[in-house]
Chain A
Amino acid sequence: MIELKDITKRFADGQRALTVLDSLSLHVDEGEFIAITGESGAGKTTLLNILGTLLPADEGQYSIRGEKVEVSDETGVERLCHLRNKEIGFVYQDHRLLPQFTVLQNILLPTLATKTTSTEEEQQRALSLLEFTGILPLKDSPVTQLSGGEQTRVAICRALINQPAILLADEPTGQLDVANTQTIATLFQQVNTQFHTTIIMATHSAEMSKVAKKTYLLKEGKLRVKN
C-alpha cells in the first residue's frame, strides 16, 4: 500500500546540511500496523510528515497504492490535500485540538475540507466514533475541559472521521500515564482490526510498540526492523 524508496531528507543546519533521512525505504501493506521507534531527533516526525504528504522528500519516491505522491503544479497540491483529507488521518502527541470548538466540532472538522457543511451521515459517524472510543457523553464539551486521555481519543476520532486508509500517529501517548497508554494502545489495535486501517505510529512507548505488528528502529536516517 505504501512504498517509500530511497527517501532522503536534509535540513539546513547553519552552513551545513543535516541529513535526517538517508535513502530510506519502507514498504507497508494494507491493514498493517507498524511502530517506528528511535531516539529523539532521529527523524520519526519527519518520516511521518513525508508519509502524511506534509513534507516533500528531497530525493526518492513515495507512492500510495502504486500512485506517486508528488507535486508538480497547483492541481498536484489540490490532489495531495484531497489525498490527505480522505486517505490519511493524523494523531499527534499534543492532539492539536482546536480550543474554540467542542468535541464533536473538532471531530467533524476534516469533513469541511472539501465541502462547506458536514452531512448528517458524517455527524452520525462522529457519534459512532465517540461511542467507539468511549467518550460519547463528552460530545458537546469544550475540548479544553478534557483530560489528556480523552483528548487523545478525540484526536483519534477526528483522524478517523473520513474513514482514512492510513492512520499516522506521532507519539500519541507521549503525555499519558501508563493506564491511559494501555487504553489508547488497545484502541489503536481495535481501529486496526475493526476498520482495517493501516497504522504507522512513531513512539517511544514499549507498550505501544507491543500492539504493533511490526516495529522499526530509525537510526542514522535508515529504518531497521526490530522484531
Chain B
Amino acid sequence: MKSLITQSRKHYRRFYRLVTIAVILMMAVLTGSLLLGDSVRGTLVQRVSERLGKTETIITSGTGFMSETLLQHPSMKHSQGYLLMDGFVSVGEMLLPVYVWGIDTDSLASDEVMVNEPLYAKLSTLDSQLSTFVLHLPSLNLIPSGSLFVSKSHATQMRVRVAGVKSVEDGGNLLLKNEQTLPLNVFINRRQLAEKMELEGKINLILSDDIIEEEQLSACWTPEHSGIHLTDSSLTYDGVFIPQDIVEKLSAANSQPSTIYLSYFVNNLMADADTVPYSFVTAINEWQGEPLEGQDMILSDYAAERLHVREGDSIRMDYFITKQLKNLDTREKMLRVKQIVPLAAFREDSLLMTDFPGLTRVENCTDWDSDLPIDMDRVQKEDEDYWHTYRQTPKAVVAYEAVRADWSNAFGSATAMRFQSPNLTPQISHLTPQLSPSDADVRLYHPRAQGLKGANEGVDFASLFLSLGFFIILSAILLMKNPLVEMFTLRQDEIQLYRQLGFRDKDIRNGLFREAFSVMLLASPWGVVAGLLYSCLTLWLLGNVWSGATHTDGFALHIQPLTLLIGIVVGLAICALTLWMVVRNALKPRTSHSSSPKYRTSLVTPCISLLITIVLIAANFLFFHDMVLFIVCGLLWILTGGIFLRVEVNRQATTSIRSILNRTQLMWLSIRSSLKQHLLAYWTLSLGVFTVFAVGLNRPDFSQAVQAIGGYQFYVDSRVPIQYDLNNPAVRKKLSLNELPDSTRFLSFLRHTQDEASCLNLNQVSTPTVLGVDLKEMEPFGLNTDAEPNPEPSTLNSQLSTVYIDEEALMWSLMKSVGDTLFYQNERGDEVPVVIAGTYPTGIFHGNAIMSSEDFRRLWPKESGVEVLLMKSSRPDEAAELLAIAMNEYGLHIQTVEERIKMFFEVTETYLIIFLTLGGLGLLLGIFSLMVIVRKNLAARTATIRQYRAMGFSERLIGQLLFRENLLVPLYAVCVGAVGSAISISANVGGAGPVTLLLALAVLVGICLILYYGIQYMIQQTINKQQTI
C-alpha cells in the first residue's frame, strides 16, 4: 500500500507540486502570523523588563518630594531614590524631550551625564561629534509652581558632558509609563542635581526591587519624610500650603481646637488716605486663645501708626486672587481693627511668618520676584526699611474664615497649624498616626503586573496579521483545492476501477486521502520554516520599512512551541478538511442529466438587487454619508453582479437553444456548462479586487481632519507646564510675546498624563491621558455630545465626570464604547468613575480623553498648568517662530496641525500598505489559483478541442473560442470588483490622492493584463500539446 501511495504521488507529482506550494504558503501565513503575535507580545513583555529593570515597587510623591532618609528604613533595603523630572535637550535648533533621572552615583561629576542608548543614537544622528549639550530642567521648587507667589516655573539649564552610555542591562531604558517606545533618558548625579534645584536631600521617586506593601510603607513613613514638620505644638510644610485633608484630619484628631495659619501677600492696607502697600498678612482662626471671626483684624502697632488708625477703625484690605492660569482679580475686604498689638507680638509667633521663596528670600523689596504685578513705584523708603528689619513679619492678622475661600488654593488651605496641649501630653505621638503617606501624595504601586497585563493584552498582532493575510490563506486553499480537483477528475477511471475490483468507497476515499495528505504532511514542516522566515521578515519590516505602524524597533522573534503546534494543527486541519471535501466530491457518482435542468433566466432578482443597491447608494449620498453603508453598498453591488452573471449566462445559453447557433452562444453554453467554477472565479476575483482596492483607496481624508480643528494652525506641546493664559495681553508682555500678531489666539489644555492611548502604543490602555478644556471651545472639533452616558450601576451615586475620546482610540486602544466607564485616580488617591460621554473624529487629539476643565480641576486641582496649546494667527509662521524664541525655556514642541495629523495617519497608512502588500500577494495567488482552474477546464476539454479540430476549426479559432469563454468572467469580476470598491470609497473620495488613484488604475490594468496574457498562454499551451497539423 505504502509503495502504491508513493508511486501515485510520483505519478501525479505535477499536481502535488502545486499542492505542496499551497500548503507551504498557507502554513507560512498561518504559523507566521501566530508567531508574529507571540513575537510582538514577547517584545512588549521584554520591554516591560527593560524599562523596569528589577523594579517591583514604585513609590512616588506627586508634585511634592520625599526625604532621602526614607531610604534608610530596613524595608527600603533594596530601594533606590531618584529625582526624576521631565526635561529637554537642545542640540542646535532641535529640542528633544527627555526624562532626567537624578541617580546615586559617584562616577558622574557635576557637569557630567550618562545617556541611554536611544538618546545617544538620536544625538549621534544630529551631531556625530557631539560630546556636550544643553540640558533644560523645569524649575522644581518645594512650593508647587501652580500656586500663587511663585514666578519661576520655567526651566533652568546646564551644559553637560556625555560621560557614557547607560546600557539596557544597566537600567538605561528606565520608564514608568506603560509604553513600548524606548524612552530618551539622561542620568545625572542626584546630589548635584538636587543642589542645582535647591532640593538637597530630596527625592521624588523610589524604585524598589522588593514588593513593598502599603502597610510596610506606612510603617516606615513619617510626615517628616514628606516635609511635614510636625512637632508637639505645631505643623509646617515644606510645600508651604498644607493640604486641606491634613488640616481637617489633624483638626479632627486633636481634642483641643487647633490654630490654623494662612499667610498671604496683600496689595494694600488702606484707611482713608493712608495706605501701606504690599504687606504680609496672616489669617488665623484664633488670637491668643480668643476666636478671631468676621471682620476682626489684629493690627501691628507699626501698621496702625502708618495708617493712623485706632482700635475699632475700619481698614480696607485688597489683594489679588487667582482664577484659572494665574489670571488675577483684585478683591477688597473691609475689616475692623479689633486690637492693636506690638509688632513684637507677631514676631514672637514664627508660624505667622511664611517663607515664600521669591518674596521672602530677597534683600530688598525691589527684588521681589513673583507672579504678582507689583508696582515698585508704590514701595516707599519706609517699606524697604520695614523689610530690612522685619522681613515677612505680618503687619496684620485677620480672621481665617473671612479669607479662607479667597486665599486657599489647590495645594492647601493653611501655611501652619498650632496645637493646644493643655495636658502637656506629646501631641506628636498622638497626631502622627493620623497621617498616612497618601495624605502627602506619597503612593506606591507595583508596575510589573500592570505592565505585563498591558503587554499581554496589547494589540494582537496574530489576529491582525491573520486578518491582513486572510486573502493569502484563502487563495492558498483555492490553490490547494484546484489541482486536487483536477487530479481526481483525471483519476475517475482509476476510481471506477477500484470499485470494479471490489473496493468499498470508504477504502478508496481513505486511500486517496492518505496519498494526498501524506504530501501535505511532508510539506507542513517546510511551511513552518517559511512561517518563521515570514515572521522574521515581517518583524524586520515592522521595525524598519513599516515602522510607521508601530513606532518601535528591535522586535525580536519569540517562538512559543504551543503556538507553533497550534499553527501546524490548524493548518493541517484546514488541509485535511479541504482534501476530505475534494475526495468526497470525487467519489460522488457522476450525474448524467437525466432530465433537463431548470435554469433561472428571470432578470427580476438581479434587477431588484440592483435597484436596492442604487437606492441605498443614493440615500447614503444624500442623507447618511456613512462609510460603513458605502462598503455595504459595494458588497451589495458585487452580490448583484454575481446574481446577474448567473442569470445572464443561463439566459444567453437558453436563448441560443431556440435560435440559430452562433459563436457567441457557443461561449455562453460553454460557460454555463462549468458555471460553478466560473462563479467561483467571479467571487474570488471580485471580492479580492474589492477588498484590496476598497481598503487601499479608503485612505483617511487628511484634508477633512485638518479642516475640523477650528482654524488652528499649530499644536504646541510644552515640556514645562505654562501657568499663564497666553491670550492675556499682560501675560504676553510678561513673556515677551507682545509682538505676536493681535489675531493670534491660543486654546489651552490642562493635561493629566496617563497612558499613551494613540495607535502608537501597542500595549492595551485602560486610562488614556486626559486633556482639560472648556468644552464649548471644542465644538468645531466635532465633539459628539449627543450620546447619553450609561454609567455602571456602582458609579451612579458618585459625582460623575465625563470624557470624550476619539473614535479610533476608543475602538482599538481602549476597546470600549460610549457609555462605558473608565476609572482614574484623583489627587486624593481615590478611584473615581469617568464616563465616556461621546466621541470626536480622530485628529490632532488622537489618543487623548477630552474633559471639561471644571471636571478636570475637580479631579486633579494641582495640575493647573497648561501643557498643550493650539494656536492660530493671521501670520502663523511668524507667530510660531516668536513663540518658540520667547518661550524657549519651556521646551515647546511646535508642530503644524498637518504634521501632527499626518503622524497619526501614518500609522493607518502603514497598516493599509501592509494590507495592500499582503492583499496584493493574496490577489496574485488568487489569480494564480484561477489560472489553475482555467488549466483544469482546458485539460477537461481536450476532447472538445480535438473535435473542434476534426470539424475543421483552425487553431486560431479554437484559441479564440476558448479564450473568450475563459476570459469573460474574470474580466467581468475585476470590473465589478473595481466598481464595488469605487462605491465603497465614495464617502472618502478625497482620501486617496491622484497618485494613489493612478496607481490603483495601473494595478487594475496590470491585473487585467496578467489575466489576459496568462489565460492566452495557457490556452496556447493546451492547443500546442495537441497540435499535429
A contacts, CB < 8 Å to B: 49, 52-56, 71, 77-78, 80-86, 88, 90, 92, 94, 96, 98-102, 104-105, 108-114, 116-120, 123, 140-142, 144-145, 158, 162
> Does B952 touch A at the CB level, under 8 Å?
yes
Tell me the bound Cα distance from A100 to B941 in angstroms: 11
In the bound complex, residues from chain B placing their C-beta under 8 Å from that of A71 are 1029
Interface residues of B in 979-1029 (CB under 8 A from A): 1028-1029
Task: Tell me the smallest distance from the CB of B518 to a CB of chain A, in Å.
Answer: 31
> Does B660 touch A at the CB level, under 8 Å?
yes
Q: Of A56, A77, A117, which is within 8 A of B663 by CB?
A: A117
A77 touches B661 (CB 8 A): no
In the bound complex, residues from chain B placing their C-beta under 8 Å from that of A81 are 952-954, 957
In the bound complex, residues from chain B placing their C-beta under 8 Å from that of A111 are 661
- Given contacts A81-B952, A96-B947, A113-B954, whether A101 and B669 have CB atoms under 8 Å apart is yes
Q: Nearest 3 A-B pairs (CB), nearest first?
A: A85-B952, A100-B673, A84-B952
* Number of cross-chain contacts by CB at 8 Å: 107
Where chain B touches its partner, the secondary structure class is helix
- Given contacts A84-B951, A116-B662, whether A96 and B1029 have CB atoms under 8 Å apart is no
Interface string of B655-670 (1 = CB under 8 A from A): 0110011111110011
Tell me the bound Cα distance from A96 to B953 in angstroms: 15
- Given contacts A98-B944, A99-B673, whether A105 and B952 have CB atoms under 8 Å apart is no
Task: Tell me the smallest distance from the CB of B391 to a CB of chain A, in Å.
Answer: 109
Interface string of B637-664 (1 = CB under 8 A from A): 0000000000000000000110011111
A52 touches B950 (CB 8 A): yes
Tell me the bound Cα distance from A148 to B952 in angstroms: 24
In the bound complex, residues from chain B placing their C-beta under 8 Å from that of A98 are 944, 947
B954 touches A112 (CB 8 A): no
Interface string of B939-974 (1 = CB under 8 A from A): 000011011111111110100000000000000000
In the bound complex, residues from chain B placing their C-beta under 8 Å from that of A102 are 657
A83 touches B952 (CB 8 A): yes
In the bound complex, residues from chain B placing their C-beta under 8 Å from that of A86 are 952
Task: Tell me the smallest distance from the CB of B953 to a CB of chain A, in Å.
Answer: 5
Interface centre among A53, A104, A112 (most CB of B within 10 A): A112
B947 touches A56 (CB 8 A): no
Which of B347-355, B526-534, B591-599, B697-705 is found at the contact surface with chain A? Answer: B591-599
Task: Tell me the smallest distance from the CB of A171 to a CB of chain B, in Å.
Answer: 15
Task: Tell me the smallest distance from the CB of B597 to a CB of chain A, in Å.
Answer: 9
In the bound complex, residues from chain B placing their C-beta under 8 Å from that of A94 are 943
Tell me the bound Cα distance from A113 to B664 in angstroms: 13
> Does B672 touch A at the CB level, under 8 Å?
yes
In the bound complex, residues from chain A placing their C-beta under 8 Å from that of B595 are 145
Q: Identify 17 residue pairs between A and B in the complex whose beta-carbon atoms are under 8 Å apart, listed by A's number.
A: A71-B1029, A80-B1029, A81-B952, A84-B950, A85-B953, A90-B951, A94-B943, A96-B943, A105-B665, A112-B663, A112-B666, A112-B953, A113-B957, A116-B664, A119-B660, A144-B593, A145-B593
In the bound complex, residues from chain A placing their C-beta under 8 Å from that of B943 are 94, 96
B663 touches A109 (CB 8 A): no
A54 touches B1028 (CB 8 A): yes
Tell me the bound Cα distance from A88 to B951 in angstroms: 8
In the bound complex, residues from chain B placing their C-beta under 8 Å from that of A52 are 950
List 17 other contacts, CB 8 Å, given A98-B947, A113-B951, A142-B593.
Answer: A77-B955, A81-B957, A82-B952, A84-B949, A86-B952, A96-B946, A99-B673, A100-B670, A101-B669, A102-B657, A105-B656, A109-B951, A110-B952, A117-B662, A140-B657, A145-B592, A145-B595
In the bound complex, residues from chain A placing their C-beta under 8 Å from that of B657 are 102, 104-105, 140
B660 touches A123 (CB 8 A): yes
Tell me the bound Cα distance from A86 to B595 in angstroms: 34
In the bound complex, residues from chain A placing their C-beta under 8 Å from that of B594 are 145
Q: Of B592, B946, B953, which is within 8 A of A113 by CB?
A: B953
B669 touches A109 (CB 8 A): no
In the bound complex, residues from chain A placing their C-beta under 8 Å from that of B592 are 144-145
Where chain A touches its partner, the secondary structure class is mixed
Interface string of B661-705 (1 = CB under 8 A from A): 111111001101100000000000000000000000000000000
B953 touches A108 (CB 8 A): no
Tell me the bound Cα distance from A141 to B672 in angstroms: 16
Tell me the bound Cα distance from A123 to B656 in angstroms: 13
Residue of A whose beta carbon sits closest to that of B594: A145
Residue of A whose beta carbon sits closest to that of B947: A96
Tell me the bound Cα distance from A165 to B665 in angstroms: 28
B1029 touches A100 (CB 8 A): no
Residue of A whose beta carbon sits closest to that of B658: A140
In the bound complex, residues from chain B placing their C-beta under 8 Å from that of A123 are 660-661
B593 touches A49 (CB 8 A): no
B950 touches A118 (CB 8 A): no
In the bound complex, residues from chain B placing their C-beta under 8 Å from that of A99 are 673
In the bound complex, residues from chain B placing their C-beta under 8 Å from that of A77 are 954-955, 1029
Residue of A whose beta carbon sits closest to that of B944: A98
In the bound complex, residues from chain A placing their C-beta under 8 Å from that of B953 are 81, 85, 112-113
B660 touches A120 (CB 8 A): yes
Q: Of B662, B670, B672, which is within 8 A of A112 by CB?
A: B662
In the bound complex, residues from chain A placing their C-beta under 8 Å from that of B656 are 105
Tell me the bound Cα distance from A94 to B942 in angstroms: 13
- Given contacts A54-B1028, A56-B1029, A145-B594, whether A96 and B662 have CB atoms under 8 Å apart is no
Task: Tell me the smallest distance from the CB of A211 to a CB of chain B, in Å.
Answer: 23
Tell me the bound Cα distance from A55 to B950 in angstroms: 11
Task: Tell me the smallest distance from the CB of B211 to a CB of chain A, in Å.
Answer: 78
Tell me the bound Cα distance from A135 to B656 in angstroms: 20
In the bound complex, residues from chain A placing their C-beta under 8 Å from that of B660 are 108, 117-120, 123
- Given contacts A96-B943, A116-B663, A117-B660, whether A105 and B669 have CB atoms under 8 Å apart is yes
Task: Tell me the smallest distance from the CB of A167 to a CB of chain B, in Å.
Answer: 12
Tell me the bound Cα distance from A141 to B592 in angstroms: 13
Task: Tell me the smallest distance from the CB of A34 to a CB of chain B, in Å.
Answer: 19
Residue of A whose beta carbon sits closest to that of B666: A112
In the bound complex, residues from chain B placing their C-beta under 8 Å from that of A114 are 952
Tell me the bound Cα distance from A109 to B949 in angstroms: 11
Tell me the bound Cα distance from A106 to B662 in angstroms: 12
Tell me the bound Cα distance from A81 to B958 in angstroms: 11
In the bound complex, residues from chain A placing their C-beta under 8 Å from that of B673 are 99-100
B662 touches A100 (CB 8 A): no
B1029 touches A85 (CB 8 A): no
Task: Tell me the smallest distance from the CB of B670 to a CB of chain A, in Å.
Answer: 6
Residue of A whose beta carbon sits closest to that of B672: A100
Task: Tell me the smallest distance from the CB of A124 to a CB of chain B, in Å.
Answer: 11
Task: Tell me the smallest distance from the CB of A8 to a CB of chain B, in Å.
Answer: 16
Residue of A whose beta carbon sits closest to that of B941: A98
Residue of B whose beta carbon sits closest to that of A55: B1028
In the bound complex, residues from chain A placing their C-beta under 8 Å from that of B946 are 96
Interface string of B709-752 (1 = CB under 8 A from A): 00000000000000000000000000000000000000000000
Tell me the bound Cα distance from A71 to B954 in angstroms: 13
B951 touches A105 (CB 8 A): no
B1028 touches A49 (CB 8 A): yes
Residue of A whose beta carbon sits closest to that of B656: A105
Tell me the bound Cα distance from A99 to B946 in angstroms: 14
In the bound complex, residues from chain B placing their C-beta under 8 Å from that of A141 are 596
Task: Tell me the smallest distance from the CB of A6 to a CB of chain B, in Å.
Answer: 19
A54 touches B662 (CB 8 A): no
- Given contacts A53-B1029, A54-B1029, A100-B672, whether A105 and B661 have CB atoms under 8 Å apart is yes
A108 touches B661 (CB 8 A): yes
Tell me the bound Cα distance from A21 to B944 in angstroms: 27
